[in-house]
Amino acid sequence: MHKVFIGVGHGGSDPGACANGLRESDVNLTMALAMKAELERHGVTVGISRTRDENDRLTEEIKECNAFAPDLAVEIHNNAGGGDGFEVYISGKNQTARQLAERIEKEVKAIGQNSRGIKTSTSLGWVRQVKAPAVLCEGFFLDSADRAIADTADKQRRFGQAYARAVLAQLGIVSGNTPLDDRKRAQERFGFSDDTMTYLDGYRFAQALYKRLADTK
């Protein structure tokens, strides 16, 4: 059985980057929950550092990840500083992590985001201290025109699903179509708010629930 751990950057009293009505901690969570749902839909066992807005210290994330002993580990962040594009960090010491980073970069480009490249770091705790092959993703810049690529929850979920497709490919699992239509139909049929949908995204069997709700007569 394949196991993947998702680290969700920031949270609670630490919102991360904030700009243009976006809070990094919220964006990170939306991406992470979409990634989690897509991996679980394909039978992957997923650990995640948080499923709601709460304090989520990096040291605790790393501890949880190592205790979970995953096959792969992905930390989700987004950027600030006026730049443009996606980037992904690795330690440079693990070939599997580099392959995963390359796959993620490819999937992110496929949804229309440009890339600043795959970068090595000796200082980032996630890529340095996590025992499994680990990557840290910075999806887009919140404080520049780059935000247009992910300025809504639906666009943010596309990033999470892109990350999931890359992980599935790395694990040798053939991915099917993402059932976004069921989610959209369920929301429209029952008039759920975006906040409600984000909450439901954290449910382990979210995709099955959306399908059942969408098909309700």
Residue by residue, DSSP assigns 76-141 as EEEE-SS--SEEEEE-SS-HHHHHHHHHHHHHHHHTT--EEEEEE-SS-HHHHH-SS-EEEEEEEE
Report angle CA 189, 53, 61 to the nearest 5 degrees. Answer: 125
Burial of 55 (0-12, 13-18, 19+ CB in 10 A): exposed
Distance from CA of residue 143 to its chain's centroid? Answer: 20
Whether 29 and 55 have beta carbons less than 8 Å apart is answered as no
Q: Which of 87, 105, 138, 188 is catalytic?
A: 138
The β-bridge relationship of strands 3-8 and 134-141 is unpaired
Let me know if 138 is a catalytic residue: yes
Which residues make beta-bridge pairs with 74? 6, 135
Annotated catalytic residues are 138
